[in-house]
Structures are given as structure tokens and as C-alpha cells.
């Protein structure tokens, strides 16, 4: 097993590297397609604006590489914006298309009285598909760390494996299919629950 962590010039790269090392692996930083030689599992830590992330990936020739990787059913773990870019588009950057691997769009939280945006801090994930290998040992409603102002809205429920509620909005906080897993929260900042989730992905994928 060789884990590659995508470096697009931003994101929470160091924390994800440290999390993978805590699980006993020595990850490889992938800043260009040629860097992925020998990689078996790919993780994309997300932090930043949707459009900027897509442009940075494009500049490093990683967009087509990522899309082909996922279409070829190779193990992929997307975090935060690494989750959002799988969709068709985002309100954060309306003129920038996503990878269109999951039908749906990314929306901004609606303004509510006393609701702080971004959604920041610990919140629970309500598991919708408890038999999915990614949730092994995590219980029915594990807590993870969130920081985001936008959230994906998948078309249909085929991909969604967990939901979170913030204010009056309930959204898909995690999706999975075959060897793809992606989440809005940050497992690398979620202590034992986050490490367990990453470990489950590596084992099951």
C-alpha cells in the first residue's frame, strides 16, 4: 500500500500527512501526475476557494489525472474542497465547472438568525448506511470537526452515506461508492474518530 496525498499548492497538506503517518504509513506527496507512480491510494485534502482549487489543479495537470483515477475505480479520499470538486458546480465560483463525477451542486448556507457562518467546530454525522466499511467501529453518530461555508447537495441519495445538520440545513456530509469516499468534515482534525475513518478507508479500499 502506498498513499499519495495531492499537493495543489494549498490545502491542509501537513495535517493529513501527519494523520497518515500516525497510522503507520509513509505517504508520498503528489504535485504532478508523474509523482503518483506506485501510488495505490489517493487523498486530496481541501482548504480554500472552489475556483482557486480547480485552477491550481489544472495548472499542475492534475484535473484530468484525478478524474481518470476515480473513473478507473482507484481508491480516492476527498476532504472538504476535495469533496466539493467532485460535483458539477459551486455557488462559490459559478463560472468554474467541477469534475462532474457526482451529480449535484455545492451551495452556501442560507443566512439564519444567530447562525454563524462558516460552520466551524464539532458536529455529529448521522450514519445512513451503517454497513458501509468506512464506518466500522465508529458507532451510529460519530463526531467530526467541520469548517466550511458551502456544502454539496447531491442529486438523489445514491452516494450519500452520512448527513449533518447545522441550523435548519441538513446536508450530505459524506459520500461513498465503490472505492471512493469523500467528506465535508476534516478527519485529520477529528482526533481518534478521524484516524479510525482514514484507517477504515485504507483497509476497505
Q: In this structure, what CATH number is given to the domain that contains residue 58?
A: 3.40.50.880
Whether the link from the prior residue into 85 is cis, omega within 30° of 0, is no
> CB neighbours of 75 closer than 8 A, spacing ≥ 6?
40, 41, 42, 179, 180, 201, 202, 205
Grid cell, residue 179, equals: 472505492
The set of catalytic residues is 80, 186, 188
SS3 67: helix
> What residues in the chain have per-residue pLDDT under 50?
none
pLDDT of residue 54: 96
Report CA 92 to chain centroid distance, whole Å: 17
pLDDT of residue 157: 86
Cα angle at 124 between 123 and 125, to 5 degrees? 130
| Phi, psi of 132, rounded to the nearest 5 degrees | -60, 135
Count of CB atoms situated within 10 Å of the CB of 32: 11
Domain count, the chain: 1
SS3 52: helix
| Phi, psi of 57, rounded to the nearest 5 degrees | -65, -40
pLDDT of residue 77: 98
Grid cell, residue 100, equals: 462532474
Which domain, by its residues, includes 131? 3-204
Of the candidates 133, 141, 15, the residue with the CA atom closest to the CA atom of residue 80: 15
pLDDT of residue 113: 86
- B/e letters for 49-75, b = 16+ CB within 10 Å, e = fewer, are ebebbbbbbeebebbebbeebbeeebb
Amino acid at each position: 500500500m502506498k498513499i499519495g496525498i495531492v499537493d495543489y499548492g494549498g490545502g491542509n497538506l501537513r495535517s493529513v500527512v501527519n494523520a497518515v503517518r500516525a497510522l503507520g504509513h509513509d505517504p508520498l506527496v503528489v504535485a504532478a501526475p508523474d509523482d503518483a507512480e506506485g501510488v495505490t491510494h489517493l487523498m486530496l485534502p481541501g482548504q480554500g476557494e472552489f475556483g482557486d482549487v480547480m485552477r491550481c489543479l489544472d495548472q499542475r495537470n492534475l484535473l484530468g489525472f484525478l478524474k481518470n483515477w476515480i473513473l478507473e475505480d482507484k481508491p480516492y479520499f476527498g476532504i472538504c474542497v476535495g469533496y466539493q470538486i467532485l460535483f458539477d458546480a459551486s455557488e462559490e465560483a459559478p463560472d468554474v465547472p467541477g469534475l462532474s463525477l457526482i451529480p449535484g451542486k455545492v451551495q452556501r448556507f442560507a443566512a439564519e438568525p444567530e447562525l454563524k457562518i462558516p460552520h466551524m467546530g464539532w458536529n455529529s454525522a448521522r450514519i445512513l448506511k451503517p454497513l458501509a466499511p468506512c464506518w466500522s467501529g465508529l458507532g451510529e453518530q460519530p463526531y467530526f470537526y467541520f469548517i466550511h461555508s458551502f456544502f454539496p447537495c447531491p442529486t438523489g441519495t445514491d452516494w450519500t452515506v452520512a448527513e449533518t445538520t447545522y441550523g435548519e440545513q441538513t446536508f450530505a456530509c459524506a459520500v461513498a461508492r465503490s472505492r471512493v469516499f469523500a467528506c465535508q468534515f476534516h478527519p485529520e482534525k477529528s482526533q481518534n474518530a478521524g484516524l479510525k475513518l482514514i484507517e477504515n478507508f485504507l483497509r476497505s479500499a
